[in-house]
Amino acid sequence: MKLKLDFLSHAFQRVSPWLGQAFSDNGTPSSSRLLTLLHSLVACGGLIYVLAKTHSMPDGTTLAGLGAFSTAHYAVNRATTAWGKDKGPKPDADDKVSQ
For residue 10, the surrounding DSSP H or E stretch is helix 2-22
Residue of higher predicted confidence among 98 and 79 = 79
Question: Does the structure show a pLDDT above 90 at 87?
Answer: no
Going by the DSSP 8-state scheme, the letter that residue 90 receives in this structure is P
25-61 burial, b at 16+ Cβ within 10 Å, e below that, comes to eeeeebebbebbeebbeebeebeeebeeeeeeeeeee
Confidence of residue 3 (pLDDT cuts 50, 70, 90): low
For residue 62, count other CB atoms closer than 10 A to its CB: 13
Query: Please, what is the average pLDDT of the chain?
Result: 83
Question: Does the structure show a pLDDT above 80 at 98?
Answer: no
The β-bridge relationship of strands 28-29 and 24-25 is antiparallel
Q: What is the pLDDT of residues 71-86, one digit of tens each?
A: 998 888 888 878 777 6
